[in-house]
Structure 1
Amino acid sequence: MNNVEITRAGLPDISRIVEIENNLFPDPWNEQAFRDVLFYYSNTFFTLKSDGDIVGFITAGIEDTSEVLYGHIMNLAVVPEYRKMGLGGRLMQRMEYEFIVSGAEGSQLEVRVSNGDAISFYKKLGYSQVMVIGGYYNNGEDAVLMMKWF
């Protein structure tokens, strides 16, 4: 693992991001979804690069309920050969920094109830389960809604 860096995503990155997404998730986002996120949330879309190659990414948005401003992690992925190195945590830390700079009071995300590794990962980062959302995913699987307050 040489020269790992986190950079803002750009249009040239989308094809590799879609490739990673398709390889890792049973219900992947399509290319247009990533293009939309890049258009609407370019300040909160980052890639993880090792020697210039994209090996992970994170997407998020800032949401305003009129009572509270919070960040919403929408998608996070690190290719398997780069896991267990703290890189997912670095992506989350970078995003949380962006949230705090934007005035957010916390961060929220959803994760499949069956994804125990991800739930444990988020708990280690200080996230707590708030509730379960029934039938959240296209295949009918429930999601765990997790939150971290800053």
Structure 2
Amino acid sequence: MPLQLTIRRAQPADIPQIVAIERSAFDDPWDERTLQESLAYYPETFFVAKDNGDLAGFVAGGVEDTGEEVYGHIMNLAVAPGYRRRGIGQHLIRRLEQEYAVLGASAVQLEVRITNAGAQEFYRRLGYRVVLHIASYYANDEDALVMMKWFRF
């Protein structure tokens, strides 16, 4: 069945479904409190994808202002198991990138596990490039790659 996808800003009532998707997607998921805090701190850059009322995925982003540059930061992205590989992640990232452009960001960054080749390829297809390798970034001492995409206006 074709998707009836809508993307909107997340709301506190979405948190239980977001938690469920997070737990299905990651071995070390963010807990409910962390997701609530992310939504409270960055409500303008936390989006959900809905399909006929079902929460299909989410993206949580932040904004970092160095005083010289504004950067978007993709902090978390997950898609519900039954919705994966259907373009939802890409739609969520594109919507978040639009918001970052409106907010004056010159680039977007994210961290990805060095072992997560699928996520790295996903972001490469969207124009992100590896800029840094961080040793022992994750709780289990796994390394991370920092990937960035620069906006050209």
Q: Sort the TM-score into its range (normalised by shorter chain).
A: over 0.9
Deviations 1:110-140, CA, capped at 9 Å, x for gaps: 0011110000000000000001111111111
Shift of 1:51: 0.7
Q: Secondary structure at the match of 1:111?
A: strand
Structure 2 portions without partners, runs of 5+:
none
Deviations 1:69-119, CA, capped at 9 Å, x for gaps: 110000001123212222111100000000000000000000011110000
CA distance in 2 between counterparts of 1:95 and 1:118 reads 17
After superposition, residues 44-59 of structure 1 pair within 5 angstroms as 44-59=45-60
- TM, length-normalised to structure 2: 0.95
CA distance in 2 between counterparts of 1:114 and 1:10 reads 32
1:74 counterpart residue number: 75
Shift of 1:65: 1.2
Deviating above 4 A after TM superposition, structure 1's stretches of 4 or more consecutive aligned residues are: none
- TM, length-normalised to structure 1: 0.97
Structure 1 portions without partners, runs of 5+:
none
Contact kept? 2:47, 2:58, Cα under 8 Å = yes
After superposition, residues 105-124 of structure 1 pair within 5 angstroms as 105-124=106-125
Q: What letter matches 1:108 in structure 2?
A: Q
Shift of 1:23: 1.3
- Number of residue equivalences: 150
1:142 counterpart residue number: 143
CA distance in 2 between counterparts of 1:108 and 1:140 reads 21
1:40 counterpart residue number: 41
Taking only the aligned residue pairs, the percentage that are identical comes to 51
Residue 130 (1) aligns with residue 135 (2): no
Q: What letter matches 2:22 in structure 1?
A: E
The two structures, once aligned, show a CA RMSD in angstroms of: 0.8
Contact kept? 2:24, 2:81, Cα under 8 Å = no
After superposition, residues 93-112 of structure 1 pair within 5 angstroms as 93-112=94-113
Shift of 1:2: 3.2
